[in-house]
Amino acid sequence: MKIVLLSLGGALGALLRYYISKFVNSSFSFSYVPWGTVLVNVVGAFLLSFIIFTSQERYELPSNFILFFGSGLLGAFTTFSTFTYEALVLYIEVPLRGFIYFASNIVLGFLAAYLGMILGRGRLH
């Protein structure tokens, strides 16, 4: 059952990442960086942090829920390999673009995870 949940979550996460990234990147084709990847990574960082801290500090979520959404869906939804590839390509083309893209993912991802932790805990600190 765990493999089925992980697989279904992973398939759904991969499809969501593909379509959201494609939509955002095509909507902002004039953009300086591929914001679709930034968006999925930031949203994924927030959601994973929120789910884990909610389960740890407020009420325990079922392990199958965490497996499906955390490891499966969000594991496939976020994309470190695409992020690093795009950062390298942008850096080779225009170093400042690569840096902006890299920093956007890291800083916004961290802030989103922090916000998820705060909201997941239900309190500040």
The annotation places the binding site for Na(+) at 75, 78
Q: What is the rounded CA–CA span in Å between residue 125 and residue 122?
A: 10
The annotation places the binding site at 75, 78
Contact present, 91 and 33 (Cβ < 8 Å): no
Q: What is the rounded CA–CA span in Å between residue 66 and residue 81?
A: 23
Contacts of 101 (CB under 8 A, 6+ apart): 33, 34, 38, 86, 87, 90
Q: What is the rounded CA–CA span in Å between residue 58 and residue 19?
A: 33
Q: Could you tell me the two tokens for 49? A: 């942090």
